[in-house]
Amino acid sequence: MNIPFKYNELKNIMRERAIDLAVANSRHNVRYLLGGGYFYHFHEHSTRMAQSQYLPLVGIPGSGVDGSFYIHRPDEAG
């Protein structure tokens, strides 16, 4: 499995601080954790301004990347 970020460093920080799950929701952090190439074309350059806001999530459990998850819009490929 190709992990596009410094997983061992994240795992050590999570273990030291007794964190069970790391969740990223900012555009920059999601992009980093997904390998730098991720962007949802509609919000590539700016955040949506309206009653609701698109908010992707990436979750990485301390137990390993096999349990990682990505929550996205239904019309995204991912």
Give the CB-side neighbour count of residue 63, counting CA atoms within 13 A. Answer: 5
pLDDT value for 38: 54
CA distance 32 to 6: 10
Burial class (CB in 10 A: 0-12, 13-18, 19+), 51: exposed
* Higher-pLDDT residue of 53, 44: 53
Comparing 42 with 69, the larger pLDDT belongs to: 69
What digits encode the pLDDT tens for the residues 12-37?
999 999 999 999 988 778 888 888 76
Q: Is the pTM of this model over 0.85?
A: no
The residue-averaged pLDDT of 57-72 equals 90
60 forms beta bridges with 22
User: DSSP 3-state assignment of 16?
Assistant: helix
Please answer whether residues 62 and 13 qualify as being in contact, where contact means their C-beta atoms are separated by less than 8 angstroms: no
pLDDT over 70, % of the chain: 72
